[in-house]
Amino acid sequence: MSTVATSFGIEEALKQLGIKEVNKGTSTGNDWFSNGEEIASYSPVDGNLIGKVTTTSKDDYEKVMQAATSAFKTWRVMPAPQRGEVVRQFGEELRRLKEPLGKLVSYEMGKSYQEGLGEVQEMIDICDFAVGLSRQLHGLTMHSERPGHRMYEQYHPLGVVGIISAFNFPVAVWAWNTALAWICGDVCVWKPSEKAPLCGVACQRIAASVFKKNNLPEGISCLINGDYRVGEFMTTDKRIPLISATGSTRMGKIVGRTVGERLGKSLLELGGNNAIIVTPDADIKMTVIGAVFGAVGTAGQRCTSTRRLIIHESIYDKVKDAIVAAYGQLRIGNPLDENNHVGPLIDTDAVKMYQQALDKVVEEGGNIVVEGGVLQGEGYESGCYVKPAIAEAKNNFSIVQHETFAPVLYLLKYSGDVENALEIQNGVNQGLSSAIMTNNLREAERFLSHAGSDCGIANVNIGTSGAEIGGAFGGEKETGGGRESGSDAWKIYMRRQTNTINYTTELPLAQGIKFDL
């Protein structure tokens, strides 16, 4: 273990979570097995090896699916409140292990320790939400046009749910899906990102212990590991009616097409190109806090990260100066050190993408107002630390139209009223998160109206980044159109059925059709 890992308790955290030097990456619960090649997990914090995970072979996958389909027959008939009780116990285990799991998230992915703890808290919150929901999986009752008939709808478990998650939220997004799927009566097969496989191993161990304590069969929670080829095992498998995939728009288009060809369902959470509109009536202090955290939190590697700041020309220089001054106070370094604001990018490939984006914005005529660059020297040995950068640009620049998964913020100027700002904000292919900073009620309501923001998330006087689990999470256009987490997002994990009961001695037909024998 490195000095960083030792100093910040990573070694002890790994021990508490059952992480070994080499971990089997395939599991149906307490049964662990793998016959694939090894993948190594290196921390972007210090570049050191954390551990290795063996990947899932095709034969391993078949064993997983046999266990999952068998377990579904048992799990689906358990009353939903009883399933909710199991999820409650899972949430309690997460509470007990919040600190070590938060440290692993921070060390393996690179986000700040506080954000790592926050991600585990999201898992706990969705478990709490799911427990309550387990007593509310309700349909509707409709009036029949035929006398002596009752018509209603109900929801049934869907089956095996396949989950493909991304590196930037290596545990929370899985929990968003699996907690709801479990209370709906589904079983889950999860492929975590190959860039954060140990987080997947840790979560599976926690879940497996809960299912074992409740004498439930193997297969309710399953883990597979590997690259896109392992993901293809699921996307092409007709035994999996729903694939929930989080990642890039490019990946989502492939998943959506593949699953669609077999008439399966997809829940896609893809790229964002999120903007904050800053009007003349904005509170500048609130604007700075929201924009800076949105742009540099998780080193700009959130799908909800703030990419564009659309500022009215009358306050443009004032806002720009305040944002630039705030960037001058940022501390970049080891994310386990709570004095630092910004940690590393996930790997050196992400660093190259960041550098290319800065080169491209200058090439297209933009102006760099806060210089970027790769940090070197003591504490930055992994080569993954970069300076958050700010550039003045135009919305029609190709690089601005593209989502750069790094801390690069583009300043855009608008004139006139909020209509012009909305045209800029909506003028990209992505539609995940958006925000407006204003104390003008008319501007706020216009932003939230039918002809306002075209994003799945629209906020007033808070930033684009961060979401509570009570609301449905997701976006429009090339963000994929899926919804996870709160509200009625649970419905995608179930199949809807309409029922009609005739309690008379006659058999009248709908629409008054006569068919006499």
What integer pLDDT is reported at residue 5 of this predicted model? Answer: 78
What integer pLDDT is reported at residue 479 of this predicted model? Answer: 97
Rounded Cα distance between 142 and 148, Å, is 13
Ranges of the chain with pLDDT below 70: 1
Rounded Cα distance between 118 and 308, Å, is 25
Rounded Cα distance between 443 and 436, Å, is 9
What integer pLDDT is reported at residue 6 of this predicted model? Answer: 80
What residues act catalytically?
269, 303
Contacts of 310 (CB under 8 A, 6+ apart): 275, 276, 277, 278, 412, 413, 414, 421, 424, 425
What integer pLDDT is reported at residue 515 of this predicted model? Answer: 87
| Tokens standing for residue 168 | 């930037």
Bridge partners (DSSP) of residue 332 are 342
429 and 401 Cβ atoms separated by less than 8 Å:
yes
Domains of the chain (ranges plus CATH)? 3-270+480-496 (3.40.605.10), 274-469 (3.40.309.10)
In this predicted model, what pLDDT tens digit does every residue of 163-220 receive, in sequence order? 999 999 999 999 999 999 999 999 999 999 999 999 999 999 999 999 999 999 999 9
In this structure, the dihedral spanned by the alpha carbons of residues 249, 251, 256 and 259, taken in order and rounded to 10 degrees, is -170
Rounded Cα distance between 77 and 487, Å, is 24
Rounded Cα distance between 499 and 136, Å, is 19
pTM tops 0.75, yes or no: yes
DSSP string, 206-241: HHHHHHHHTTPPTTSEEE---SHHHHHHHHT-TT-S
| Tokens standing for residue 433 | 């998160």
| Tokens standing for residue 484 | 């996870």
Residue 390 DSSP one-character state: E
In this predicted model, what pLDDT tens digit does every residue of 355-388 receive, in sequence order? 999 999 999 999 999 999 999 999 999 999 999 9
Rounded Cα distance between 44 and 387, Å, is 15
What integer pLDDT is reported at residue 1 of this predicted model? Answer: 66
In this structure, the dihedral spanned by the alpha carbons of residues 435, 404, 162 and 475, taken in order and rounded to 10 degrees, is 20
Rounded Cα distance between 452 and 418, Å, is 9
Return the residue matching tokens 């990209």.
Answer: 428
Phi, psi for residue 461 in degrees, rounded to 5? 60, 25
In this predicted model, what pLDDT tens digit does every residue of 17-75 receive, in sequence order? 999 999 999 999 999 999 999 999 999 999 999 999 999 999 999 999 999 999 999 99
What integer pLDDT is reported at residue 444 of this predicted model? Answer: 98
DSSP string, 269-326: E----EEEEE-TT--HHHHHHHHHHHHHGGGG-STT-EEEEEEETTTHHHHHHHHHHH
